[in-house]
């Protein structure tokens, strides 16, 4: 069955960077987009961008240009998102989700990133 296993919670300092992972199993990793979605406490969902692991192509929500960098390792079926120049506004739960350009059919469990000195 399709599974997306994300890395553990992160506590990071303002101004630093963090890289979180999403290991896929149960399907052909290179055949589907991998999306990343942000959810702040009590808030809704915000789409960050996607990567197509088959060729490494990426697309970003303009709001996250320069903030998020998406990569994928085909050999380990793992997608990554690096967030840079972290501020308190980046404290959130981040989900990876398999999908198409239309919808997200399988989601990871989410990673809580806390930015605090």
Residues that bind other proteins (CB under 8 A): 35, 43-47, 61, 95, 97, 101-105, 107-110
Helix (H) and strand (E) counts for the chain? 0, 11
Which CB, 80 or 104, lies closer to other proteins? 104
β partners of residue 95: 37
Which CB, 61 or 84, lies closer to other proteins? 61
Which CB, 10 or 46, lies closer to other proteins? 46
- CA 74 – CA 28 distance, rounded (Å): 10
Q: In the block, which residue shows the tokens 């989410």?
A: 110
Query: Does residue 4 contact residue 98 with C-beta atoms inside 8 Å?
Result: yes
CB of 47: closest distance to other proteins in angstroms?
4
CB of 41: closest distance to other proteins in angstroms?
12
């Amino acid at each position: 069955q399709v599974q997306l296993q994300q890395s553990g919670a992160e506590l990071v300092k303002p101004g630093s960077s963090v890289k979180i992972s999403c290991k896929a199993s149960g399907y052909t990793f290179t055949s589907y987009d991998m999306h990343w979605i942000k959810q702040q406490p009590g808030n809704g969902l915000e789409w960050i961008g996607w990567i197509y692991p088959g060729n490494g192509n990426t697309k970003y929500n303009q709001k996250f240009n320069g903030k998020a960098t998406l990569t994928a390792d085909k050999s380990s079926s793992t997608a990554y998102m690096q967030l840079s120049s972290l501020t308190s506004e980046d404290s959130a739960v981040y989900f990876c989700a398999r999908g198409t350009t239309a919808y997200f059919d399988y989601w990871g469990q989410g990673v809580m990133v806390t930015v605090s000195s």
